């Protein structure tokens, strides 16, 4: 049973059953109650007219049977009970009762509370129901004359059933009709839910069959429910992102192993050369210098890999500060001037508009350093690098061989290096790191390059 209650289909059907049962039961109860009230009011109206008609014909010394006359035929009443009661003001009791023959000497009871209500409103008709030997009766009371010492109380009664044969039949038909409608609706909903769940089960089976390397496999829409199709679209997007991430991780692993393998191979070779025989101090210094350079390069690669894998958006946003980007740019330019002078490269600032922004100072400085390092590295001897800082953007433009259309989509990938520049120092992690840092800051970067002319990197803050 516990397992059944965890079934979504069962819970949906149970919830719908309870909801529809309450609605149908409420509707039936309201309808029966309305008809019962209507029947009671109609019966009261008929009895009220009858008692007033009888009261109009009353004269002294007339019996209850004589009063009825042709009233039954006139109002098409099968049964009518009439009773005359005399109220004694001195003894405060019913002094005399005259009943119609069909009451069989079993008078209608008038208790003290009823009598009080009758006498308090002598000109009004009082209605009540009474359990009598003749069955349940609807009784009407009316005072004929309050001016005398012993006023007459006229009582008329007709059989009254709360549940008439008509209401009983209607209630039965309502139960049958609404019950049948409830079952039909549940069956229809069960069919719709089952069909929808078949689609969901098909989707589950397809999802189980999709592997991380199935780059072209996607879930087909069901065309059964828009919500399910939206879920499929979302899942397909997620699969695309996961497969793209998997491809990047796979390529990253291959490239990283290559980039780490090369310096390690060089270091091993140098060490083996030094161990083969005794060498002069100068030779050992040369070997150690080569190993030292490779260790530094290896350390830089590892640090960048660690930084790439550890940068998270939430942590970066939590470390935001208000930065004067113009001051940071000025500081980085001063640090790079010595490197630029080695190649006779001029750092020209064409536009310099100070402004502030919210960012992580350490990471943003890495971005500026990497972009300027690349601009200097890939510029020819004696070239000019143009820097333009204006409100909301920073552009760095350098001349050189540029970036080909084939390489442009890959320049931000990890360890990617164009064939034309692989002879230059570097590991292909600089621009990747720039892109990751800018993405976690929600900044944009735009690259434009004209082959053998200029290349510009523009950051939009």
Question: What is the residue extent of each domain of the chain?
Answer: 17-166, 226-310, 315-460
Output the six-digit token pair for 101. Answer: 């023959």
List the alpha helices (DSSP H) in 57-164. 64-68, 71-74, 112-120
Closest CA to 323 of 278, 345, 354: 354
Separation between Cα atoms, residue 107 and residue 83, nearest integer Å: 7
Can you read off the two tokens belonging to residue 188?
């229809």
Residues whose CB falls within 8 Å of the CB of residue 424, separated by 6 or more in sequence, listed in order: 377, 378
Residue bearing the bigger pLDDT, 61 or 178: 178
Q: Is the dihedral of CA 370, 375, 380, 383 positive or negative?
A: negative
Decide the pairing of beta strands 384-390 and 152-159.
Answer: unpaired
Give the integer Cα–Cα distance in Å for 218 and 431: 32
- Do the domains spanning 226-310 and 315-460 agree at the CATH topology level? no
Through-space distance between the first and last CA atoms of the chain, rounded to whole angstroms? 59
- Mean pLDDT across the chain, nearest whole number? 80
pLDDT tops 80 at residue 326: yes
DSSP state of 172: H
Average pLDDT over residues 354-370: 86
Q: What's the gap between Cα 276 and its chain centre?
A: 72
Mean pLDDT, residues 265-285 taken together: 80
- C-alpha 57/C-alpha 230 separation (Å) is 82
Beta-ladder partners of 389:
352, 394
pLDDT, tens digit, for every residue of 60-98?
Answer: 667 778 777 778 888 888 888 999 888 877 777 787 788
CATH number, domain 226-310: 1.10.287
Burial class (CB in 10 A: 0-12, 13-18, 19+), 55: middle
Angle made by CA atoms 392, 394, 397, in degrees to the nearest 5: 155
Angle, in degrees to the nearest 10, between helices 165-209 and 226-276:
20
pLDDT in the model for residue 40: 87
Rounded to two decimals, the pTM is 0.46
pLDDT at 126: 93
Ramachandran sector of residue 351 (left: φ over 0; alpha: ψ -120 to 50; beta: rest): beta
Top-level class of domain 17-166? alpha beta
For residue 109, count CB atoms less than 10 angstroms from its CB and return exposed for 0-12, middle for 13-18, buried for 19 or more: exposed
Between 243 and 445, the more confident residue is 445
pLDDT value of position 156: 92
- DSSP 8-state code for residue 22: H
Question: Does the pLDDT value for residue 300 go beyond 50?
Answer: yes
What band does 289 get if pLDDT is binned at 50, 70 and 90?
confident
| CA dihedral angle for residue 416, residue 330, residue 357, residue 386, rounded to 10 degrees | -60
**pLDDT tens-digit map of 393-445:** 999 998 888 787 777 887 887 666 655 554 455 556 778 878 888 888 889 99
CATH of the domain spanning 315-460? 3.30.565.10
Phi then psi dihedrals of residue 47, to 5 deg: -65, -35
Q: Is the pLDDT of residue 224 over 90?
A: no
Signed CA dihedral, 330, 335, 339, 341: sign only: positive
Among 31-35, 62-66, 160-164, 317-321, the range with the most confident prediction by mean pLDDT is 31-35
Q: What is the pLDDT of residue 301?
A: 65
């Amino acid at each position: 049973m516990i397992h059944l209650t965890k079934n979504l289909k069962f819970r949906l059907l149970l919830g719908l059953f309870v909801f529809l049962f309450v609605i149908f039961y409420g509707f039936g109860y309201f309808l029966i109650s309305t008809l019962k009230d209507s029947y009671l009011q109609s019966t009261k109206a008929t009895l009220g007219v009858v008692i007033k008609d009888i009261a109009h014909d009353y004269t002294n010394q007339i019996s209850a049977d004589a009063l009825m006359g042709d009233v039954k035929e006139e109002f098409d009443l099968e049964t009518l009970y009439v009773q005359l009661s005399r109220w004694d003001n001195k003894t405060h009791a019913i002094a005399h009762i005259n009943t119609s023959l069909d009451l069989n000497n079993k008078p209608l009871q008038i208790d003290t509370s009823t009598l009080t209500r009758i006498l308090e409103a002598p000109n009004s008709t009082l209605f009540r129901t009474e359990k009598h030997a003749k069955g349940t009766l609807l009784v009407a009371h009316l005072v004929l004359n309050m001016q005398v010492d012993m006023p007459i109380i006229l009582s008329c009664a007709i059989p009254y059933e709360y549940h008439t044969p008509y209401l009983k039949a209607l209630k039965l038909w309502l139960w049958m009709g609404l019950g049948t409608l409830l079952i039909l609706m549940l069956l229809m909903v069960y069919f719709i839910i089952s069909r929808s769940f078949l689609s969901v089960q098909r989707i589950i089976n397809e999802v189980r069959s999709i592997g991380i390397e199935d780059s072209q496999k996607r879930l087909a829409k069901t065309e059964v429910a828009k919500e399910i199709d939206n879920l499929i679209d979302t899942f397909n997007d997620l699969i695309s992102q996961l497969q793209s991430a998997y491809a990047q991780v796979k390529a990253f692993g291959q490239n990283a192993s290559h980039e780490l393998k090369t310096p390690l191979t060089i270091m091993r070779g140098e060490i083996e050369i030094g161990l083969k025989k005794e060498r002069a101090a100068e030779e050992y210094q040369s070997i150690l210098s080569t190993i030292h350079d490779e260790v530094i390069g290896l350390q830089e690669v590892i640090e960048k890999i660690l930084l790439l894998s550890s940068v998270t958006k939430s942590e970066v946003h939590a470390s935001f500060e208000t930065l004067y980007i113009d001051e940071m740019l000025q500081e980085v330019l001063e640090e790079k001037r010595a490197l630029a002078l080695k190649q006779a490269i001029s750092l020209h600032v064409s536009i310099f508009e100070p402004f502030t922004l919210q960012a992580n100072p350490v990471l943003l400085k890495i971005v500026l350093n990497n972009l300027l390092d690349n601009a200097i590295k890939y510029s020819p001897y004696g070239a000019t690098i143009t820097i333009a800082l204006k409100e909301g953007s920073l552009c760095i433009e350098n001349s050189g061989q540029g970036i080909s259309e084939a390489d442009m989509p890959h320049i931000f990938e990890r360890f990617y290096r164009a064939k034309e520049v692989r002879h230059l120092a570097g590991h292909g992690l600089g621009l990747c790191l720039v892109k990751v840092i800018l993405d976690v800051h929600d900044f944009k970067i735009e690259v434009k390059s004209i082959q053998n002319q200029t290349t510009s990197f523009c950051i939009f803050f």
